[in-house]
Amino acid sequence: MGSECVVVLVTGVPGTGKSTISSLLASELNGSHIELSRLVKEGGHSLGWDHSRATAIADINALRKSITNILDVSSSPVIIDGHYSPDVVAYNRVTLVIVLRRAPWILRTELTMRGYRPRKVRENVEAELLGSCLVDALDMQDHAKICEINTTDLTPQETAKLVLAVLNGKVACGYGGVDWMNQPEAETMLRGL
> What's the confidence (pLDDT) of residue 180?
92
- Which residues lie across from 11 on neighbouring strands? 99
> What's the confidence (pLDDT) of residue 129?
93
Q: What's the CA dihedral at 172, 138, 58, 96 to 10 degrees?
A: 20
Long-range contacts of 124-131 (CB under 8 A, 24+ apart): 124/13, 124/14, 124/15, 125/189, 125/193, 126/193, 127/13, 128/13, 128/16, 128/101, 128/102, 128/104, 128/180, 129/104, 129/180, 129/181, 129/186, 129/190, 131/101, 131/178
> What's the confidence (pLDDT) of residue 193?
64
- Written in H, E and C, the secondary structure of 129-144 is HHCHHHHHHHHHCCHH
> How confident is the model over 2-50, as pLDDT tens digits?
447 999 999 999 999 999 999 999 999 999 999 999 999 888 888 888 8
- Cα-based distances in Å from 39 to 56, 60, 63, 67, 182: 11, 11, 8, 10, 37
Residues 6 or more apart in contact with residue 105 via CB below 8 angstroms: 185, 186, 188, 189
Q: What parts of the chain have a pLDDT lower than 50? A: 1-3
User: What amino acid occupies position 162?
Assistant: L
> What's the confidence (pLDDT) of residue 3?
46
Domain ranges of the chain: 2-192
> What's the confidence (pLDDT) of residue 104?
95
> What's the confidence (pLDDT) of residue 1?
35
- Give, in words, the CATH class of 2-192: alpha beta
- The predicted model scores a pTM of 0.93
